[in-house]
Structure 1
Amino acid sequence: MKHLLILMLALALPLFAAVVTEPIQRGDISVKQSFNGTLSFNQKSRLASESEGKVTRLYFDEGDYVKKGQVLLEIDTKILDANIKATKASIKELEFSLQRAKLDFKRYEALLAKQSVSKQKYDEFYFQKMQLEQKKISLESSLEAQNIAKNKKRIKAPFAGYISKRSVEIGEWLKVGSEVALLLNPNKIDIIIHLPSSFINNVSKNKTIMVSINGKDYKTKMIGALLSGNKKTRTFPLKLRLLPSKDTFFDGMQARLSLEKSSVSDVLLVSRDAVIKRYGKDVVFIVKDNKALMVPVRIITYEGKKTAISASELKVGDRVIIKGNERIRPNQEIRK
């Protein structure tokens, strides 16, 4: 009995809908045309080996973030280390011989000044010293070349970025030029969008240009319009640089740029949320005599969160429903 009474009271009460409204305005709006473009990492490097040998250590994997100068892998250096050790020993041995030759030469130089030794004997010690000095230079150059070769056994990241691809495994034999990884710099991302020449002239190089990626707006700056166009479509590539963002992007993602095509003056303006689909038509609900009146509209264009519409039944100042309109029925009583 109690539940029946509650049900009867509920049916007796009028069904009010709680909504949010705003007044219809009149103003000007731009007609936009959208163009799709593609994200491309401006700085990408296919890292390759400058030396041949077996990979002994691997310090990275796909998806890793690496810093500039970070060691990515090492190639076996056992034979090279032995050669470097032998060269260093040869230099040390030669330094002793050179030291003795310099002392001998100094003595013969003094003897020659006193005419106590022949010029021929003096020349022999002079050229012996010179020969040892040149041999030392040769060995030191050889040691420097060996150290350079050893440094090439360690592949380092040329810039900070993400490893997009790994092409090597531990124990694998690398040849000179073997690709080991693909490195991408996430802070240098360009967007190429093909535009008719008339639209390119409307893009300012000194202003921030907004593009949409996955439904979110991002700031870019114009790098320039490339002069080589597509003869079939009569479009020209516009190059934009994506400004730094904490979001993650992928090479080849789609970006959308909206540019003004024309403008419409003195039109009715409502929030985008005011226009909904009902019975397959675009409609808005306005509040009239505390009831929801459904009015079919024609959408002229969009700009940001505003929509330009046309409808003979609407006028400036009418309260249009922007929240709660999805559940409204025509002529339903409204509580604002």
Structure 2
Amino acid sequence: MRIINLSPLIFGLVLLPPDNFADDRLVTARPALQREVLSGFTRARSRVLLAAENAGRIESVSGDVGDRIEEGEPFACQDQTFINMELRSNEAERDALAVDKAYFRKEVARYRRLLQQNSSSQSQLDAALRSLDKINTQLVALTVAADILKERKKRLCIMAPAGWRVVKRYIEPGEWVNTGEPVVDLGDYHSLVVPFALSMAEYQALKALEGELRLTLPDLKSEVDAAILRVSPAFDEVSRKINIELEIALDPSLARGGLRVELALDIPLRGDAVLIPERALKQRYEQYWLKRADGEELRVVYLGRIKGDDEAWVRVTGPGIKPGDQFKLNQEQ
């Protein structure tokens, strides 16, 4: 058996200076953050108040509070008796003019033949042409009037966006409504909006989460993805904050206004506090010290201990210390 003497190798490793391992013993200071939880309440993505375009008696209503509007189905219709009578009268006038038009077309053709035979005067032909043109003009006017009546009849039925839900109903069948009176309040609950008022630091923290933003719904004991929908550019003189709206989507059976929502944001602490692993901190005579990568020692103020991902971290502050600075671990621990 061959015996190898490792003593010189071990002795040489022991004599290597500690700086040879410095790169493996450095830690980087992180920004010190505090978690803020903001609360808001859901509301419909959009709201619309529909009003009556014409005065009249309500003949039918097809939806009640909470109902979903069906595709192509009107919410309410007004009585159409009189407008139907106007349409029939218009049609009768056009039929009568069509008879006159056919007669004067024959008259024009007859007078042209007679004029060629010198059996009639030019004035008689001109009078027949004038009557025919007048009838054509009256037919055009009646056709336009019929189109107006049809459009008015169409608007007697109040259409609503498909899929929206009835928030409040203002009318009942048989009730008289005047022009401009509200008929129904509708909300779009395909997605929900949650308004918040944020400070600039909170808004920057929110922007950093864009694409990974999640909100908590305590009442439903669940979390949901969210996206920034609107950011107001205006200055709110009362709150002095930035008004924003976040958009979330829920199952249609759960989507409603008034659900409490929590937004958690990690905000940098005011001041120069940083986070550092507790193992980098050295305590001497009730004072705390950190050692930079170049060996410089700095006295710091200990602000408290937090729980990190895999080890204990502490908040400290000191002159010249900022996030990104590197420090040596305390080799005495």
Report the TM-score when normalising by structure 2: 0.67
2:306/2:313 contact within 8 Å kept: yes
Cα offset, 1:196, TM superposition:
0.6
Q: Which moved more, 1:254-263 or 1:241-250?
A: 241-250
Cα offset, 1:217, TM superposition:
1.4
Q: Which residue of 2 aligns with 1:199?
A: 202
Q: Which residue of 1 aligns with 2:169?
A: 166
- Residue 226 of structure 1 aligns with an amino acid whose one-letter code is S
Q: Which residue of 2 aligns with 1:121?
A: 124
Cα offset, 1:133, TM superposition:
0.5
Alignment of 1:230-269 (within 5 A): 230-243=236-249, 245-262=251-268, 264=275, 266=277
Cα offset, 1:259, TM superposition:
1.0
- Residue 73 of structure 2 aligns with an amino acid whose one-letter code is Q
Cα offset, 1:267, TM superposition:
7.3
The CA distance in 2 between the partners of 1:64 and 1:224, in whole Å, is 28
Q: Which residue of 2 aligns with 1:218?
A: 224
Unaligned 5+ runs, structure 1: 1-27, 269-297, 311-336
Deviations 1:204-263 (CA, angstroms, capped at 9, x unpaired): 385142112234211111124212233344311122222354452333443221111248
The CA distance in 1 between the partners of 2:307 and 2:75, in whole Å, is 53
CA separation of 1:203/1:113 partners in 2, compared to 1, >3 Å: closer, same or farther?
farther
Q: Which moved more, 1:78-87 or 1:223-232?
A: 223-232
Q: Which residue of 1 aligns with 2:186?
A: 183
2:69/2:161 contact within 8 Å kept: no
Determine helix, strand or coil for the equivalent of 2:93: helix
Q: Which residue of 1 aligns with 2:64?
A: 61
Cα offset, 1:95, TM superposition:
0.7
Say which one has the larger Rg: 2
1:35/1:195 contact within 8 Å kept: no
Alignment of 1:24-173 (within 5 A): 31-113=34-116, 115-173=118-176
2:78/2:157 contact within 8 Å kept: yes
Determine helix, strand or coil for the equivalent of 2:189: coil
Q: Which has the higher contact order (CA 8 A, sep 6+)?
A: 1
The CA distance in 2 between the partners of 1:208 and 1:126, in whole Å, is 77
CA separation of 1:307/1:128 partners in 2, compared to 1, >3 Å: closer, same or farther?
farther
The CA distance in 1 between the partners of 2:136 and 2:278, in whole Å, is 92
CA separation of 1:226/1:121 partners in 2, compared to 1, >3 Å: closer, same or farther?
same
Deviations 1:51-94 (CA, angstroms, capped at 9, x unpaired): 11111222111111112432112211112111211111111111
- Residue 236 of structure 2 aligns with an amino acid whose one-letter code is N
Unaligned 5+ runs, structure 2: 1-29, 269-273, 280-303, 315-333
CA separation of 1:91/1:232 partners in 2, compared to 1, >3 Å: closer, same or farther?
closer
1:38/1:193 contact within 8 Å kept: no
The percent of aligned pairs where both chains have the same amino acid is 16
1:195/1:236 contact within 8 Å kept: yes
The CA distance in 1 between the partners of 2:262 and 2:308, in whole Å, is 15
Determine helix, strand or coil for the equivalent of 2:110: helix
- The structure with the largest strand share of the pair is 1
Report the TM-score when normalising by structure 1: 0.66
- Residue 142 of structure 2 aligns with an amino acid whose one-letter code is L
Deviations 1:161-180 (CA, angstroms, capped at 9, x unpaired): 11111111111011111211
2:62/2:76 contact within 8 Å kept: yes
Determine helix, strand or coil for the equivalent of 1:142: helix
Determine helix, strand or coil for the equivalent of 2:42: strand
Cα offset, 1:265, TM superposition:
5.2
The CA distance in 2 between the partners of 1:169 and 1:181, in whole Å, is 11
Deviations 1:106-130 (CA, angstroms, capped at 9, x unpaired): 2323444555432211110111001
